Structure 1
Amino acid sequence: MKLKFIATGAMAIACASAAHAQSAGSFILGTGWLHFSPQDSSSEITVVSRGGSPINRSIPNTGASIGDSDTIGFTALYFVTDNIAVEGVMGVPPSFDIGGEGILAPYGKLGSAKQWSPTLLLKYYFMQAQSRLRPYLGIGVSRVWFSDAAITNQQFLANPLLGGPTSVDVESKWVPVFNGGFSFQVTDHWYAGLSISYLPLKTTATLTSTSATSVGNLTSVSKADIKLNPIVTYINVGYRF
């Protein structure tokens, strides 16, 4: 009888542990710190047209750079099975500083832009559902677009290179996401985690400048291809419902 009682108790503890694990049907909401580190490079700025007439002339030794940025991230994770989960990721749009390269480097910060990149991931969790530490690998897709892009450096705007007030438009893109990390069960409901993602992102920035002439305003359009390829680090906490 005593052995039967001990065995029954052990089974109850095991079931309770399974009930509080990352198993099929588990839903976890999380938040944390997102750090974007672009591995950026840029083509030379090309003047596409001026006053409506095509030019297509590259300006030697010019380019743009993008700085690092931090923001708050939010995630919603659902376990389809004990090992397979889907996750949605969204952050407060971080603001990136745009700098100049080559002959534009002395101007320092040229402007800024905010990035939106909602992401959907399919993740595979290794080890058993009851394991406290679970590494994972994931793959997914992100829709990346930019808002509030602006050139704000007045010295740069006065340069004949652009010729006047300039607006910026950055092309939106669908990009793949490669993800890996681990999750650690702190209590029955609370989790902590770390993930690293890589987004192979290449986009085009279009600069539209307007300068005043004796016969009216003259519009110039310039473009630059920019590789961002950000590495995104996410340190988070989550609560299992």
Structure 2
Amino acid sequence: MKKQFSVLPKLAALSVLAAFAAPVMAQQAGDNLVNVGWFHLKLQDSSETLRINGNPVPGSGAGVKDTDTLGVQLTHFFTDNIALSTDLGLPPKFKLNGEGTLSGVGQIGTAKQWSPAVVAKYYFGEPTSQFRPYLGAGVTYVWYSDIKLNDSFQQSLSGIISRGTSRGLKTSADLSSSWAPIANVGVVYNFDKNWSANFSLSYVPLKTKADLTTQTPVGPVHSTTKLTLNPVVTFLSVGYRF
């Protein structure tokens, strides 16, 4: 009887080891994954000189601050290695600050960016692999909403346009929409057959044109500039397979 009881701890230890050695069986043909996590947008930004009715404002510029937002990713596996992901999320708010001769106005304004994306991915390794690196390429369509210009910038622009005679002119803004390609690399760590962690990096070459319209007594005045954003997007998330 004692011998029988002494064998039980050994059998339990072997069972635990077998459980850890068992294949994970994640990400295979037909699977669907949902990931929820955090997007961080690190901008490689620059801007062209502001032009008022085509005339440049010497030394003027603008910069955009990095931002974060909550994101959701939906992925379907067509084979054990090939998948298609759709990225969605709360639109991040970008803050645009004056630079050069516009640095005195501080924050020029804010805007929300919408950029749903579709990315095709190739996963390396087998469905039983615990670590699965991947490469991807895709496309996003980007547009902007809730564009607001700060009063200090509107007053400054009003003074430039009216040559100091007025600071009460009102200005509205529009940012152009565009398609942009995506280059993507990442890795998945599978905790078990259902749960996983995902980390990815994406590069998006992105530009937008800012068109400002100032209402004056003699008609509207248009000011334009081009902004280069080129964000490097990191996404850290937790995924569930179903």
TM-score range, shorter chain: 0.7 to 0.9
Moved more, 95-104 or 160-169: 160-169
- The reply to whether residue 178 of structure 1 matches residue 183 of structure 2 is yes
Deviation at 1:21, TM superposition (A): 1.7
CA-based RMSD of the aligned residues comes to: 1.5
Partner residue in 2 for 1:121: 119
Deviation at 1:233, TM superposition (A): 0.6
Q: Give the distance between the partners of 1:198 and 1:69, measured in 2 at CA.
A: 15
> Which letter does structure 1 place at the counterpart of 2:190?
Q
Q: Give the distance between the partners of 2:181 and 2:97, measured in 1 at CA.
A: 26
> Which letter does structure 1 place at the counterpart of 2:213?
T
Q: Deviations over 1:207-230 (max 9, x none)?
A: 11123xxxx353110110111001
Partner residue in 1 for 2:6: none
> Which letter does structure 1 place at the counterpart of 2:128?
Q
SS of residue paired to 2:160:
coil
Q: Give the distance between the partners of 1:189 and 1:217, measured in 2 at CA.
A: 65
Contact 2:26-2:192 at 8 Å conserved across structures: no
Deviation at 1:127, TM superposition (A): 1.1
Partner residue in 2 for 1:111: 109
Deviation at 1:40, TM superposition (A): 0.5
> Which letter does structure 2 place at the counterpart of 1:186?
F
Partner residue in 2 for 1:156: 153
- The reply to whether residue 134 of structure 1 matches residue 139 of structure 2 is no
Taking structure 2 as the reference length, the TM-score comes to 0.85
Q: Give the distance between the partners of 2:97 and 2:160, measured in 1 at CA.
A: 15
Q: Give the distance between the partners of 2:231 and 2:72, measured in 1 at CA.
A: 18
Q: Give the distance between the partners of 2:57 and 2:223, measured in 1 at CA.
A: 10
How is 1:1-241 mapped onto 2 (pairs within 5 angstroms)? Answer: 17=23, 20-48=25-53, 56-152=54-150, 154-159=151-156, 160-162=159-161, 164-211=169-216, 216=217, 218-241=219-242
Q: 1:162 to 1:98 in 2, by over 3 A?
A: farther
Contact 2:96-2:110 at 8 Å conserved across structures: yes
Deviation at 1:131, TM superposition (A): 0.3
Deviation at 1:202, TM superposition (A): 1.4
> Which letter does structure 2 place at the counterpart of 1:234?
F
Q: 1:59 to 1:171 in 2, by over 3 A?
A: same
Deviation at 1:139, TM superposition (A): 0.2
Q: 1:132 to 1:162 in 2, by over 3 A?
A: farther
> Which letter does structure 2 place at the counterpart of 1:157?
Q
Unaligned runs of 5+ in 2: 1-18, 163-168
Q: Give the distance between the partners of 2:221 and 2:37, measured in 1 at CA.
A: 42
Contact 2:91-2:112 at 8 Å conserved across structures: yes
Contact 2:23-2:129 at 8 Å conserved across structures: no
Contact 2:51-2:225 at 8 Å conserved across structures: yes
> Which letter does structure 1 place at the counterpart of 2:231?
P
SS of residue paired to 1:187:
coil
> Which letter does structure 2 place at the counterpart of 1:166?
T
Contact 2:113-2:144 at 8 Å conserved across structures: yes
Deviation at 1:162, TM superposition (A): 4.9
Deviation at 1:64, TM superposition (A): 1.6
Deviation at 1:106, TM superposition (A): 2.0
Moved more, 223-232 or 163-172: 163-172
Unaligned runs of 5+ in 1: 1-12, 49-55
Partner residue in 2 for 1:9: none
